Protein backbone atom coordinates (compact mmCIF):
# COMPACT_ATOMS: atom_id res chain seq x y z
CA UNK A 1 0.00 0.00 0.00
CA UNK A 2 1.39 3.42 -0.89
CA UNK A 3 1.70 6.08 1.76
CA UNK A 4 -1.61 7.73 2.54
CA UNK A 5 -2.25 11.47 2.72
CA UNK A 6 -4.25 13.53 5.21
CA UNK A 7 -7.65 13.20 3.45
CA UNK A 8 -7.24 9.47 2.88
CA UNK A 9 -6.23 9.00 6.51
CA UNK A 10 -9.25 10.93 7.74
CA UNK A 11 -11.59 8.91 5.53
CA UNK A 12 -10.32 5.68 7.11
CA UNK A 13 -12.55 6.54 10.06
CA UNK A 14 -15.61 6.17 7.76
CA UNK A 15 -14.84 2.50 7.25
CA UNK A 16 -16.49 -0.26 9.19
CA UNK A 17 -14.57 -0.97 12.41
CA UNK A 18 -13.76 -4.56 11.46
CA UNK A 19 -12.67 -3.70 7.93
CA UNK A 20 -10.31 -1.10 9.39
CA UNK A 21 -9.13 -3.63 11.98
CA UNK A 22 -8.27 -6.12 9.24
CA UNK A 23 -6.21 -3.50 7.40
CA UNK A 24 -4.28 -2.65 10.54
CA UNK A 25 -3.89 -6.29 11.55
CA UNK A 26 -2.38 -7.15 8.17
CA UNK A 27 0.35 -4.53 8.73
CA UNK A 28 0.86 -5.68 12.32
CA UNK A 29 1.27 -9.29 11.18
CA UNK A 30 3.76 -8.31 8.47
CA UNK A 31 5.88 -6.42 10.99
CA UNK A 32 5.49 -8.47 14.17
CA UNK A 33 3.49 -11.63 13.46
CA UNK A 34 1.64 -12.65 16.61
CA UNK A 35 4.23 -11.25 19.00
CA UNK A 36 3.06 -8.81 21.64
CA UNK A 37 5.82 -6.96 23.43
CA UNK A 38 5.85 -5.90 27.05
CA UNK A 39 8.49 -5.04 29.61
CA UNK A 40 8.93 -5.38 33.34
CA UNK A 41 9.04 -1.81 34.45
CA UNK A 42 8.12 0.62 37.15
CA UNK A 43 6.81 4.17 36.79
CA UNK A 44 8.08 6.70 39.33
CA UNK A 45 6.54 10.16 39.53
CA UNK A 46 8.84 12.00 41.97
CA UNK A 47 6.86 15.22 42.41
CA UNK A 48 3.38 16.52 41.66
CA UNK A 49 4.17 20.17 42.32
CA UNK A 50 3.72 21.95 39.00
CA UNK A 51 4.31 25.42 37.60
CA UNK A 52 2.06 24.68 34.61
CA UNK A 53 -1.69 24.27 34.44
CA UNK A 54 -3.00 21.70 31.99
CA UNK A 55 -6.77 21.40 32.02
CA UNK A 56 -6.71 17.62 31.53
CA UNK A 57 -4.31 16.94 34.40
CA UNK A 58 -5.54 15.49 37.68
CA UNK A 59 -2.07 14.70 38.94
CA UNK A 60 -0.53 18.07 39.68
CA UNK A 61 -1.18 19.50 43.13
CA UNK A 62 -4.01 22.01 42.85
CA UNK A 63 -7.56 22.54 44.09
CA UNK A 64 -8.66 19.10 42.92
CA UNK A 65 -5.56 17.35 44.27
CA UNK A 66 -4.47 19.25 47.36
CA UNK A 67 -1.68 16.82 48.37
CA UNK A 68 1.64 18.14 47.15
CA UNK A 69 4.64 15.82 47.47
CA UNK A 70 8.26 15.74 46.41
CA UNK A 71 10.32 12.59 46.92
CA UNK A 72 13.87 12.60 48.21
CA UNK A 73 16.53 10.86 46.15
CA UNK A 74 16.81 8.22 48.87
CA UNK A 75 13.12 7.44 48.53
CA UNK A 76 13.53 7.06 44.76
CA UNK A 77 16.64 4.89 45.16
CA UNK A 78 14.82 2.65 47.61
CA UNK A 79 12.09 2.06 45.05
CA UNK A 80 14.65 1.26 42.36
CA UNK A 81 16.50 -1.11 44.69
CA UNK A 82 13.23 -2.88 45.47
CA UNK A 83 12.16 -3.33 41.85
CA UNK A 84 15.66 -4.40 40.85
CA UNK A 85 15.36 -7.33 43.25
CA UNK A 86 12.12 -8.28 41.54
CA UNK A 87 13.52 -8.27 38.01
CA UNK A 88 12.46 -4.91 36.63
CA UNK A 89 14.57 -3.74 33.71
CA UNK A 90 13.35 -0.16 33.35
CA UNK A 91 12.36 2.85 35.42
CA UNK A 92 10.13 5.38 33.77
CA UNK A 93 10.58 8.66 35.63
CA UNK A 94 8.26 11.56 34.92
CA UNK A 95 7.62 14.53 37.18
CA UNK A 96 5.49 17.62 37.25
CA UNK A 97 7.26 20.96 36.67
CA UNK A 98 8.39 21.79 40.18
CA UNK A 99 9.98 25.26 40.35
CA UNK A 100 11.46 24.77 43.84
CA UNK A 101 13.71 21.70 43.73
CA UNK A 102 16.68 23.06 41.79
CA UNK A 103 18.01 21.56 38.56
CA UNK A 104 20.33 19.16 40.37
CA UNK A 105 17.38 17.39 42.05
CA UNK A 106 15.97 16.60 38.60
CA UNK A 107 19.26 15.40 37.11
CA UNK A 108 21.54 13.85 39.72
CA UNK A 109 19.01 11.14 40.59
CA UNK A 110 19.77 9.57 37.19
CA UNK A 111 23.49 9.44 37.97
CA UNK A 112 22.74 7.89 41.36
CA UNK A 113 20.51 5.24 39.80
CA UNK A 114 23.13 4.43 37.17
CA UNK A 115 25.91 4.20 39.78
CA UNK A 116 24.03 1.60 41.84
CA UNK A 117 21.98 -0.10 39.11
CA UNK A 118 23.88 0.29 35.82
CA UNK A 119 21.81 -2.47 34.19
CA UNK A 120 18.50 -0.64 34.71
CA UNK A 121 17.33 1.42 31.75
CA UNK A 122 16.42 4.96 32.70
CA UNK A 123 13.60 6.37 30.60
CA UNK A 124 13.07 9.87 31.89
CA UNK A 125 12.13 13.49 31.34
CA UNK A 126 9.43 14.32 28.82
CA UNK A 127 9.97 17.11 26.30
CA UNK A 128 7.61 19.17 28.47
CA UNK A 129 10.01 18.77 31.41
CA UNK A 130 13.01 19.54 29.20
CA UNK A 131 11.31 22.75 28.08
CA UNK A 132 10.38 23.66 31.67
CA UNK A 133 13.92 23.06 32.94
CA UNK A 134 15.43 25.06 30.08
CA UNK A 135 13.12 28.01 30.72
CA UNK A 136 13.36 27.91 34.48
CA UNK A 137 17.13 27.50 34.70
CA UNK A 138 17.97 29.68 31.72
CA UNK A 139 19.53 26.94 29.62
CA UNK A 140 19.16 25.95 25.98
CA UNK A 141 17.51 22.69 24.97
CA UNK A 142 20.92 21.47 23.81
CA UNK A 143 22.39 22.13 27.23
CA UNK A 144 19.63 20.24 29.03
CA UNK A 145 19.80 17.33 26.59
CA UNK A 146 23.58 17.12 26.95
CA UNK A 147 23.17 17.04 30.73
CA UNK A 148 20.64 14.24 30.41
CA UNK A 149 23.13 12.18 28.41
CA UNK A 150 25.89 13.01 30.89
CA UNK A 151 23.76 12.04 33.90
CA UNK A 152 22.65 8.73 32.43
CA UNK A 153 19.22 9.10 30.83
CA UNK A 154 18.97 6.27 28.29
CA UNK A 155 15.79 7.20 26.46
CA UNK A 156 13.00 9.76 26.58
CA UNK A 157 9.36 8.92 27.19
CA UNK A 158 6.68 10.24 24.86
CA UNK A 159 4.69 12.33 27.32
CA UNK A 160 3.69 15.95 26.88
CA UNK A 161 2.85 15.64 23.18
CA UNK A 162 -0.90 15.87 23.91
CA UNK A 163 -2.37 17.15 20.61
CA UNK A 164 -0.15 19.16 18.28
CA UNK A 165 -2.91 21.26 16.72
CA UNK A 166 -2.16 24.72 18.13
CA UNK A 167 -5.76 25.77 18.76
CA UNK A 168 -6.65 22.62 20.69
CA UNK A 169 -3.32 22.73 22.48
CA UNK A 170 -3.89 26.34 23.54
CA UNK A 171 -7.24 25.33 24.97
CA UNK A 172 -6.07 22.27 26.90
CA UNK A 173 -2.56 23.22 28.03
CA UNK A 174 -1.65 26.80 27.19
CA UNK A 175 1.75 27.91 28.40
CA UNK A 176 3.63 24.64 28.34
CA UNK A 177 5.95 23.33 25.61
CA UNK A 178 4.55 24.17 22.14
CA UNK A 179 4.11 21.52 19.47
CA UNK A 180 7.01 22.88 17.48
CA UNK A 181 9.25 22.85 20.57
CA UNK A 182 8.15 19.32 21.53
CA UNK A 183 9.17 18.05 18.10
CA UNK A 184 12.39 20.11 18.12
CA UNK A 185 13.45 18.59 21.46
CA UNK A 186 12.87 15.03 20.22
CA UNK A 187 14.70 15.80 16.97
CA UNK A 188 17.69 17.06 18.95
CA UNK A 189 17.55 13.97 21.19
CA UNK A 190 17.45 11.65 18.18
CA UNK A 191 20.41 13.50 16.66
CA UNK A 192 22.39 12.43 19.73
CA UNK A 193 21.76 8.83 18.66
CA UNK A 194 19.10 8.35 21.33
CA UNK A 195 15.59 6.90 21.04
CA UNK A 196 12.26 8.12 22.36
CA UNK A 197 8.53 7.50 22.23
CA UNK A 198 5.65 9.73 21.24
CA UNK A 199 2.17 9.92 22.72
CA UNK A 200 -1.14 11.44 21.69
CA UNK A 201 -3.78 12.39 24.24
CA UNK A 202 -7.19 11.85 22.63
CA UNK A 203 -10.86 11.47 23.48
CA UNK A 204 -11.36 14.97 24.94
CA UNK A 205 -12.16 18.08 22.88
CA UNK A 206 -10.08 17.21 19.81
CA UNK A 207 -11.61 16.02 16.54
CA UNK A 208 -10.52 13.22 14.24
CA UNK A 209 -8.70 15.67 11.96
CA UNK A 210 -6.57 16.83 14.88
CA UNK A 211 -5.49 13.24 15.54
CA UNK A 212 -4.55 12.78 11.88
CA UNK A 213 -2.63 16.08 11.91
CA UNK A 214 -0.80 14.86 15.04
CA UNK A 215 0.15 11.59 13.33
CA UNK A 216 1.29 13.40 10.17
CA UNK A 217 3.66 15.63 12.14
CA UNK A 218 5.13 12.55 13.84
CA UNK A 219 5.51 10.75 10.51
CA UNK A 220 7.36 13.73 9.08
CA UNK A 221 9.88 13.88 11.94
CA UNK A 222 10.32 10.12 11.92
CA UNK A 223 11.22 10.29 8.21
CA UNK A 224 14.04 12.64 9.18
CA UNK A 225 15.41 10.93 12.30
CA UNK A 226 14.00 7.39 12.72
CA UNK A 227 14.27 7.97 16.47
CA UNK A 228 10.76 7.04 17.63
CA UNK A 229 10.41 3.52 18.97
CA UNK A 230 6.70 3.58 19.67
CA UNK A 231 3.52 5.57 19.20
CA UNK A 232 1.26 5.58 22.25
CA UNK A 233 -2.30 6.86 21.95
CA UNK A 234 -3.43 7.81 25.49
CA UNK A 235 -7.15 7.70 26.13
CA UNK A 236 -8.24 10.77 28.07
CA UNK A 237 -9.39 9.93 31.62
CA UNK A 238 -12.27 12.09 32.76
CA UNK A 239 -12.04 12.43 36.54
CA UNK A 240 -10.68 15.21 38.79
CA UNK A 241 -9.64 17.65 36.10
CA UNK A 242 -10.81 20.86 34.47
CA UNK A 243 -11.62 19.78 30.93
CA UNK A 244 -15.14 18.84 31.84
CA UNK A 245 -15.74 16.37 29.01
CA UNK A 246 -19.29 15.09 29.31
CA UNK A 247 -19.22 12.19 26.84
CA UNK A 248 -16.32 9.76 27.19
CA UNK A 249 -14.94 8.38 23.92
CA UNK A 250 -16.39 5.03 22.79
CA UNK A 251 -14.47 1.76 22.52
CA UNK A 252 -15.28 1.79 18.80
CA UNK A 253 -13.55 5.16 18.36
CA UNK A 254 -10.55 4.07 20.47
CA UNK A 255 -10.04 0.95 18.35
CA UNK A 256 -10.50 2.91 15.12
CA UNK A 257 -7.86 5.36 16.31
CA UNK A 258 -5.45 2.52 17.09
CA UNK A 259 -6.01 1.02 13.64
CA UNK A 260 -5.72 4.37 11.84
CA UNK A 261 -2.46 5.13 13.62
CA UNK A 262 -1.02 1.74 12.63
CA UNK A 263 -1.86 2.53 9.00
CA UNK A 264 -0.75 6.19 8.98
CA UNK A 265 2.45 5.74 10.99
CA UNK A 266 4.07 3.40 8.51
CA UNK A 267 7.54 4.39 9.73
CA UNK A 268 7.05 3.94 13.50
CA UNK A 269 7.69 0.27 14.31
CA UNK A 270 5.66 -0.18 17.49
CA UNK A 271 2.11 0.75 18.42
CA UNK A 272 1.52 0.63 22.14
CA UNK A 273 -1.94 -0.05 23.57
CA UNK A 274 -1.33 1.53 26.95
CA UNK A 275 -3.60 -0.59 29.14
CA UNK A 276 -3.54 2.06 31.87
CA UNK A 277 -5.74 4.41 29.85
CA UNK A 278 -7.60 1.93 27.65
CA UNK A 279 -8.23 -0.76 30.33
CA UNK A 280 -6.48 -4.12 30.08
CA UNK A 281 -9.43 -5.69 28.29
CA UNK A 282 -9.54 -3.15 25.49
CA UNK A 283 -5.75 -3.23 25.18
CA UNK A 284 -6.02 -6.99 24.58
CA UNK A 285 -8.62 -6.39 21.88
CA UNK A 286 -6.41 -3.66 20.39
CA UNK A 287 -3.90 -6.39 19.55
CA UNK A 288 -6.30 -7.23 16.69
CA UNK A 289 -6.39 -3.57 15.62
CA UNK A 290 -2.70 -2.93 15.02
CA UNK A 291 -1.22 -2.81 18.53
CA UNK A 292 1.87 -4.96 19.13
CA UNK A 293 2.94 -3.65 22.52
CA UNK A 294 1.15 -3.46 25.86
CA UNK A 295 3.74 -1.38 27.79
CA UNK A 296 4.54 -3.23 30.99
CA UNK A 297 3.67 -4.30 34.47
CA UNK A 298 4.17 -0.70 35.73
CA UNK A 299 3.72 -1.54 39.46
CA UNK A 300 2.66 1.97 40.33
CA UNK A 301 1.42 4.88 38.31
CA UNK A 302 0.19 8.25 39.53
CA UNK A 303 -0.58 10.52 36.55
CA UNK A 304 -3.36 8.61 34.84
CA UNK A 305 -4.72 6.97 37.96
CA UNK A 306 -5.27 10.45 39.45
CA UNK A 307 -7.71 11.04 36.57
CA UNK A 308 -9.60 7.78 37.10
CA UNK A 309 -7.48 5.07 35.44
CA UNK A 310 -7.40 1.79 37.40
CA UNK A 311 -3.63 1.57 37.24
CA UNK A 312 -2.39 2.75 40.63
CA UNK A 313 -0.83 -0.63 41.47
CA UNK A 314 0.16 -1.98 38.08
CA UNK A 315 -0.61 -5.50 36.95
CA UNK A 316 0.65 -8.91 38.04
CA UNK A 317 3.28 -10.32 35.66
CA UNK A 318 1.98 -13.90 35.49
CA UNK A 319 -1.57 -12.70 35.01
CA UNK A 320 -0.50 -10.23 32.30
CA UNK A 321 1.38 -12.89 30.38
CA UNK A 322 -1.56 -15.30 30.74
CA UNK A 323 -3.98 -12.74 29.36
CA UNK A 324 -1.82 -12.12 26.29
CA UNK A 325 -1.53 -15.87 25.66
CA UNK A 326 -5.24 -16.50 26.15
CA UNK A 327 -6.06 -13.80 23.65
CA UNK A 328 -4.10 -15.69 21.00
CA UNK A 329 -0.86 -13.71 20.98
CA UNK A 330 2.72 -14.51 21.95
CA UNK A 331 3.98 -12.52 24.95
CA UNK A 332 7.55 -11.40 24.36
CA UNK A 333 9.40 -9.55 27.07
CA UNK A 334 11.49 -6.77 25.54
CA UNK A 335 13.96 -4.25 26.80
CA UNK A 336 13.27 -0.53 26.59
CA UNK A 337 14.54 -0.20 23.04
CA UNK A 338 12.74 -3.30 21.77
CA UNK A 339 15.48 -5.91 21.88
CA UNK A 340 13.78 -9.23 22.64
CA UNK A 341 14.64 -10.71 26.06
CA UNK A 342 12.38 -13.72 26.46
CA UNK A 343 9.34 -15.36 24.93
CA UNK A 344 6.98 -16.22 27.81
Evaluate whether 41 touches 91 at the Cβ level (below 8 Å): yes
Evaluate whether 170 touches 115 at the Cβ level (below 8 Å): no
Is residue 241 part of the contact set for ligand V47 (CB under 6 A)?
yes
d(CA 33, CA 155): 26
User: Which region, left, alpha or beta, applies to residue 314 given φ > 0 means left and ψ of -120 to 50 means alpha?
Assistant: left
The interface region with ligand V47, picked from 5-13, 54-62, 105-113, 216-224 by CB under 6 A, is: 54-62
Is residue 157 part of the contact set for ligand V47 (CB under 6 A)?
yes
> Binding residue for ligand V47 (CB under 6 A) from 218, 294, 307, 315?
307
* SS3 state at 301: coil
Query: Is 50 within any annotated ligand binding site?
Result: yes
- Nearer to ligand V47 (CB atom), residue 9 or residue 94: 94
Least distance (Å) between residue 222 CB and ligand V47: 15
Query: Is 162 within any annotated ligand binding site?
Result: yes
Q: What angle do CA 37, 38, 39 make, to 5 degrees?
A: 135
Torsion of CA 54, 59, 60, 62, to 10 degrees: 90
Q: Which residue is nearest to ligand V47 (CB)?
A: 159
> Binding residue for ligand V47 (CB under 6 A) from 127, 234, 273, 286?
234
* Of residues 124, 244, 218, the one with CA closest to residue 163: 218
Residues with Cβ within 8 Å of 169's Cβ and at least 6 positions away in sequence, in order, are 162, 163, 178, 179
Using CB under 6 A as the binding criterion, the count of chain residues that bind ligand V47 stands at 24
> Binding residue for ligand V47 (CB under 6 A) from 162, 206, 293, 333?
162
d(CA 191, CA 226): 10
Query: Is 173 within any annotated ligand binding site?
Result: no
Is residue 277 part of the contact set for ligand V47 (CB under 6 A)?
yes
d(CA 137, CA 129): 12
> Binding residue for ligand V47 (CB under 6 A) from 37, 38, 56, 275?
56
Sign of CA dihedral 39, 230, 196, 158: negative
Is residue 304 part of the contact set for ligand V47 (CB under 6 A)?
yes
Question: In the window 167-226, what residues touch ligand V47 (CB under 6 A)?
Answer: 197, 199, 201
Is residue 57 part of the contact set for ligand V47 (CB under 6 A)?
yes
Is residue 125 part of the contact set for ligand V47 (CB under 6 A)?
no
d(CA 103, CA 114): 18
Evaluate whether 185 touches 130 at the Cβ level (below 8 Å): yes
- Nearer to ligand V47 (CB atom), residue 26 or residue 64: 64
Least distance (Å) between residue 16 CB and ligand V47: 27
- Which residues belong to the annotated binding site for S-adenosyl-L-methionine? 56, 162
Footprint of ligand V47 (CB under 6 A): 56-58, 94, 126, 157-160, 162, 197, 199, 201, 232, 234, 236-237, 241, 274, 277, 295, 303-304, 307
- Which residues belong to the annotated binding site? 50, 54, 56-57, 162
- Which residues belong to the annotated binding site for [4Fe-4S] cluster? 50, 54, 57
Amino acid sequence: MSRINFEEALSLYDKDLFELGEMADKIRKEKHGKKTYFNINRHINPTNVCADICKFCAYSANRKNPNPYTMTHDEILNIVSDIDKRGAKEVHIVSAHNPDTGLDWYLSIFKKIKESFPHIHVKALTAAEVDFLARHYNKTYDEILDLMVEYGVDSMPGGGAEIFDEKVRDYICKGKVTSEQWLEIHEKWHKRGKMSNVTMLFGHVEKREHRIDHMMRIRELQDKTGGFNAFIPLVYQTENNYLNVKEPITANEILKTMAVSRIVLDNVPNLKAYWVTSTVNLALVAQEFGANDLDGTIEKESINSAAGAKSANGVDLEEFVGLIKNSGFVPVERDSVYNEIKEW
